[in-house]
Amino acid sequence: MTYFAGLDVSLEESAICVVDETGRIIKEMRAASEPLALIAALTGLGLPLERIGLEACSLTAWLHDGLRAAGLPATCIETRSANAAMKTMPNKTDRNDARALAQIMRTGWFRQVHVKSRQSRLWRSLLVARRTVLNEMRAIENVVRAILREGGIKLGTPAHAAFAGRVREMVGDDPLILPIVTPLLAILATMLEQLDRLTRQVLVIVRGEAVCRRLMSVPGVGPITALAFRATIDQPERFRHSRDVGAHLGLTPSRYQSGETDIQGKVSRCGDELARTALYEAAHSLLTRSRKWSSLRAWGLQIAKHRGMARARVAVARKLAVVLHRMWSDKTEFRFGKEPTAAIAAA
């Protein structure tokens, strides 16, 4: 007889439920949310476990790697699928969640989540840290702008590096406003310095990564986008077709069909938000800033002409995901295509 286990992981303790192939509960217990504690609890049962399910969370990758290293069949499952099963329970408790996860593993009604390598997770953490600092800088700058508007001063949109100098120039020696904005400007100066440090770390990583350098041959794709895509995809072979990457990152339309109703909605946005945002910004750069001709840019501009720039950005972002994955898989450089001749363009 085979057995299946479900682990409801929390910060301090994890609830464990083990069921047999008929769904009968064999054992319920709790253990510390540490790899060694969970390994001891599961191996101490002396049962042949077929699958061990963990719902995706912040601790899952660490616990999954530890259980796998010990030879246990740990599987990370998608949160939405797990939540759908857990909602069938009348009461929301850790014990019931573990029971639901165990039954999910027994029936096989789950979608397995790829657990990225530790290196990819650290790269993504670096990008998240950089984006967090950038977002907080923007928030503080907006506060400074609001303070200046109280005195009728319109600051405009200076660059981050020139922001503090512009504020001091506009405020002058105003005895009411200057004491308020000075501490904020000091904070911005420190944050700008740390943002530069994080950005330099990204550049160092990209220079040493052959995959990132290859991806950056695509117009519009810079170091941030290349590293975000590299860290998110992790292993290109886990996608059978390059077109699947666009759907994985939430860049394809959602669909609702029931009977005679068939609605195609906006993009699903169900994938990694960091990589999706980076690709969207790369698409914007390709369409508005790039001056080198490419078939991809020409295709995007045609969409912008007929359907608007917003839809063109999304379409190009999805196409970029497909192109980047194919370049990575085939180890090829970006092909700009053959530019049409003046005669054909005139026609």
Could you report the per-residue pLDDT of 144-164, keeping only the tens digit for each? 999 999 888 999 889 999 999
For residue 258, give the amino acid letter.
S
- What the block records as the tokens of 304 is 């912008």
Three-class DSSP labels, 166-198: HHHHHHCCCCCCHHHHHHHHHHHHHHHHHHHHH
Neighbours of 143 (CB within 10 A): 13
Nearest by Cα to 95 from 168, 211, 158, 14: 14
Could you report the per-residue pLDDT of 207-259, keeping only the tens digit for each? 999 999 999 999 999 999 999 999 999 999 999 999 999 999 999 988 888 88
pLDDT for the residue numbered 99: 92
Residue with tokens 């009604």: 109
Contacts of 197 (CB under 8 A, 6+ apart): none
Q: Is the dihedral of CA 296, 301, 307, 311 positive or negative?
A: positive
Q: For residues 217, 218, 224 and 225, what is the CA-based torsion angle, rounded to 10 degrees?
A: -140
For residue 61, give the amino acid letter.
A
Q: For residues 187, 192, 193 and 196, what is the CA-based torsion angle, rounded to 10 degrees?
A: 160
Given a cut of 70, the residues of the chain with pLDDT beneath it are 341-347
How far is the CA of 111 from the CAs of 78, 214, 283, in angstroms? 6, 32, 30
What 8-state DSSP symbol labels residue 112? Answer: B
Neighbours of 240 (CB within 10 A): 7
Q: Is the dihedral of CA 3, 9, 12, 17 positive or negative?
A: negative
What pTM, to 2 d.p., does this model score?
Answer: 0.88
> Is residue 271 helix, strand or coil?
coil
pLDDT for the residue numbered 145: 95
pLDDT for the residue numbered 219: 93
Neighbours of 223 (CB within 10 A): 19
What 8-state DSSP symbol labels residue 84? Answer: H
Inter-residue contact 105 to 53 (CB < 8 Å)? yes
pLDDT for the residue numbered 341: 62
Alpha-carbon span 21 to 7, nearest angstrom: 17
Chain centroid, CA 81 distance in Å:
19
φ and ψ at residue 312, rounded to 5 degrees: -65, -40
pLDDT for the residue numbered 344: 44
Chain centroid, CA 264 distance in Å:
24
Q: Is the dihedral of CA 300, 301, 303, 307 positive or negative?
A: positive
> Is residue 81 helix, strand or coil?
helix
What ranges do the domains of the chain cover? 3-107, 118-208, 213-330
pLDDT for the residue numbered 347: 39
pLDDT for the residue numbered 151: 85
Regarding the domain with residue range 3-107, which homologous superfamily does it belong to in the CATH classification? ATPase, nucleotide binding domain (3.30.420.40)
Alpha-carbon span 126 to 129, nearest angstrom: 5
